[in-house]
């Protein structure tokens, strides 16, 4: 049996369900993190990448979207570790915490609504097969600018912009899209930061180029 954290407790995965009227489902009013866990078969141990930093960013995203998250970073890490242990995957996983507007109402706004949190995980291999290199194109879609939807927050509704770019690239025979911002500068991929190696040094777009301030980017 698999489990998720839902409405304040760990429950069987199939019980973690929302209503079709949930505000976040209708309007994209949620924020999330994508946290990777890597299974080490020799040590029989799952290693989670920068868990605390991901939850610090989630809390910052919640502030931007006016979501009240009544759990500390320490509490969120503890819940996640318990959930990972309870699911017992012995392979690489993807952990998805999602804080969202949970009110069952119609109406576009961010204030005066209820908030909730769900955390679930799933087996997940490499996002892209980089062992043989990938084919990338420059997308015809432009990255959302920071004064439209703040790029530093992982807002669920904003990712339709990434979906446009990714599907356009794949349907045209590429593996990934390179997305430009409104100034015509390279911003990022559909779901990852971009690095260029020049003269033995790494170059990556600045945080003021409408990019997500990536955890892996900061680590590198």
Can you tell me the distance from the alpha carbon of 205 to that of 69, in angstroms, rounded to the nearest whole number?
A: 31
- Tell me which residue has tokens 């969120």: 76
Catalytic residue among 9, 135, 154, 166: 154
Q: Which residues lie closer than 8 Å to 81 by C-beta, 6 or more apart?
A: 48, 51
Can you tell me the distance from the alpha carbon of 164 to that of 99, in angstroms, rounded to the nearest whole number?
A: 24
- Helical axes 51-64 vs 73-87, angle rounded to 10°: 120
- Asked about 154 being catalytic, the answer comes back as yes
Q: How far is CA 131 from CA 23, 34, 37, in A?
A: 41, 22, 20
Q: How far is CA 154 from CA 116, 190, 216, in A?
A: 16, 13, 14
Q: Catalytic residues, which ones? A: 154
């Amino acid at each position: 049996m698999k489990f998720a954290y839902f409405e304040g407790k760990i429950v069987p995965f199939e019980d973690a369900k929302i209503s079709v009227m949930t505000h976040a489902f209708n309007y994209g009013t949620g924020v999330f993190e994508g946290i990777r866990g890597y299974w080490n078969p020799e040590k029989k141990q799952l290693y989670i990448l920068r868990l605390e930093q991901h939850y610090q960013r989630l809390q910052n995203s919640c502030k931007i979207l006016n979501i009240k998250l009544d759990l500390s970073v320490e509490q969120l890490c503890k819940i996640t570790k318990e959930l990972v242990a309870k699911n017992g995957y012995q392979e690489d996983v993807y952990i998805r915490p999602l804080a969202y507007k949970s009110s069952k109402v119609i109406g576009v706004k961010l204030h005066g609504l209820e908030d909730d949190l769900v955390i679930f995980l799933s087996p997940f291999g490499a996002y892209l097969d980089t062992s043989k290199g990938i084919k990338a194109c420059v997308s015809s879609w432009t990255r959302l600018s920071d004064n439209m939807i703040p790029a530093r927050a992982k807002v669920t509704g904003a990712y339709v912009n990434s979906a446009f770019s990714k599907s356009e690239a794949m349907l045209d025979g590429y593996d990934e899209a390179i997305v430009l911002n409104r100034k015509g500068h390279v911003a990022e991929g559909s779901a990852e930061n971009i690095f260029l190696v020049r003269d033995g040094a790494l170059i990556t777009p600045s945080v003021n180029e409408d990019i997500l301030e990536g955890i892996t980017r900061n680590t590198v």
